[in-house]
Structure 1
Amino acid sequence: MDSENREKTNSIKKYAILFWEFFKVGIFTIGGGIAMIPQIQQVVVEDKKWISEEDMLDCIAVAQSLPGVVAINSATYIGNRMYGVKGALAATLGVVAPSFIIIIVVVSFLGAIGENSYILGAFTGIKAAVCGLIMVTAVKLAKQSLTNVFQWILAAAAFAAIAAFGVTAVWAVLGGAVLGIIYNSVKMRRLADDKTAGGSAACKDDAEDDEAAGCMEAHDSSGACGDGVGDKDDEADKQCEDEEVAK
């Protein structure tokens, strides 16, 4: 009975911790959406070490590709990755609850604080700081994920497509996925061809070595046979000479 109660308590505790960590992300991150990603990464990767950098990259890619707010999608992904459906629910509620509570309070007093110079100034500085946080996260992710020339070119192309031509993030991600599949397929085919060519060359070298070894053995055998015949001829000549001397 005690073990069951202890297990139940531990189960509730882990969901509560997950909820609280994402609640703090939601309440202390201003800017929403992509601005929450640096804080989420700080908590789940560096502080709690719940997931790795590679898992965080996968999380962002999936969250950005699906409908909805990227921060909420990320919380749902991470919660589900850790504790299944209940974990996803706890993390999602945690990251959404602060915004839900704060927006109700702000709307209630919007008329009184909307034109306040201090509030406007604070939001001006906050937005600039959020941009800095996003840039830091982008640099960290680039160092982790961009490991070859193809990935750097693809990242630059996606940036140009979104910034200059107004392509949506969904199409940029899907385009990157398609090009990545093509690139990896070509790379694997080349590796397979190189492996096949290397195997053929090795077989050819082995055949040449076997042929050379066969020739050497044949030569040695011929030499040995020749030596035997020569010895017999010498013995016959000596016998003839002995018979002539006897006569």
Structure 2
Amino acid sequence: MKAMLKMFFIFFKIGAFTLGGGYAMIPLIEEEIVAKNKWIETEEFIDIIALSQTIPGALAINSSTYIGYRLFGFPGAVVGCLGTIMPSVIIILLVATFFIQFRSLPLIESIFRGIRPAVVALILVAVMKLGKPLPKDTINLVWVIGVALTITFLGVHPILIILMSGIAGYILFKGEKNDENTR
């Protein structure tokens, strides 16, 4: 119970202090769940993020729910999810109550202008951390660049990219696991 409560406050803290959505939360979740508490290994964390992106819903909520389930079963899934969404609910209520009155103040506009670059930086950190364990070979390099260019310049939907990547991964790497098992 103590560990589950700790997990709730970890996700609550991350949800409360991270602007920019799920991608900006990834490095913070990784730091707390993988590095500090060592509840999950890096490879499994990457799999959780990948899985969380393939199912409907917000990345942070999907990943915190899955991590909670992985650690503490169904009650952990509920606690992880609540820890992530409660700060947003509280913040939205406060914003709805007060922000409308103050949104045009220069101070508020300046604060949000300062927050935007920090959000971009958090997303870049997530990309760099998630890319570290990726094998540095030609196939992966071409795939990363190809996907980025396809989404950016051709406007292909990310869901289609994920599905096609899964199919390509199956085709390209289906024999690798079998080769490892026979050694």
**TM-score of the aligned structures, taking structure 1 as reference length:** 0.69
Aligned residues: 180
Q: CA RMSD in A?
A: 1.8
**CA–CA separation in structure 2 for the residues paired with 1:186 and 1:157:** 23
For residues 142-190 of structure 1, the C-alpha deviation after alignment (integer angstroms, 9 at most, x for no partner) is 121233221221111111111112222221111111101000136679x
C-alpha contact (below 8 Å) 2:7/2:80 kept by paired residues = yes
Residues 188 and 64 (structure 1 numbering): CA distance in 2 closer, same or farther, change over 3 Å? Answer: closer
1:7-51 CA distances to partner (integer Å, 9 max, x unpaired)?
A: xxxx2x222111111000000101122221121111111121111
Correspondence 1:174-193 to 2 at 5 A = 174-185=163-174
- For residue 27 of structure 1, the aligned residue among 8, 11, 16 is 16
The equivalent residue for 1:125 is: 114
1:223 corresponds to:
none
Q: 2:129 aligns with which of 140, 145, 163?
A: 140
Q: Does 1:102 align with 2:91?
A: yes
Contact 2:61-2:81 at 8 Å conserved across structures:
yes
C-alpha contact 2:27 2:129 (8 A) present in aligned 1: no
Q: What is the identity, as a one-letter code, of the residue corresponding to 1:82?
A: L
**Secondary structure of the residue that 1:81 maps to in structure 2?**
helix
The answer on 1:113 being equivalent to 2:102 is yes
One-letter identity of the residue aligned with 1:69: A
Question: Which residue identity does 1:184 align to in structure 2?
Answer: F
C-alpha separation in 1, matches of 2:4 and 2:36: 17
Q: Which residue of 1 aligns with 2:78?
A: 89
Find out whether 1:160 has 2:149 as its counterpart: yes
**Partners of 1:23 and 1:185 in 2: how far apart?**
39
Counterpart position of 1:169: 158
**Displacement of 1:84:** 0.9
The Cα offsets for residues 195-216 of structure 1, whole Å up to 9 and x where unpaired, read as 9xxxxxxxxxxxxxxxxxxxxx
Over alpha carbons, which structure has the higher Rg?
Answer: 1
Matches within 5 A, 1:30-45: 30-45=19-34
Q: Structure 1 unaligned segments of length 5 or more: list them.
A: 1-10, 196-247
Give runs of ≥4 in structure 1 deviating > 6 Å: none
CA pair 45-112 structure 1, distance change in 2 beyond 3 A:
same
Pick closer, same or farther for the CA change 1:153–1:83 going to 2, 3 Å: same
Secondary structure, counterpart of 2:84 in structure 1:
helix
- Output one character per residue of 1:101-137: Cα deviation in whole Å (capped at 9) or x when no partner: 1101101112221111111111111111111111122
Counterpart AA for 2:64? A
Are 2:54 and 1:65 aligned? yes
The 2-side partners of 1:119 and 1:47 are apart by 34
> Tell me, what secondary structure is at the counterpart of 1:18?
helix
Q: CA–CA distance in 2 between the matches of 1:116 and 1:146? A: 49
> Once the two structures are aligned, what percentage of the paired residues are identical?
37
In 1, Cα distance between equivalents of 2:50 and 2:143? 14
Alpha-carbon distance between aligned partners in 2 of 1:188 and 1:52, rounded to the nearest angstrom:
20
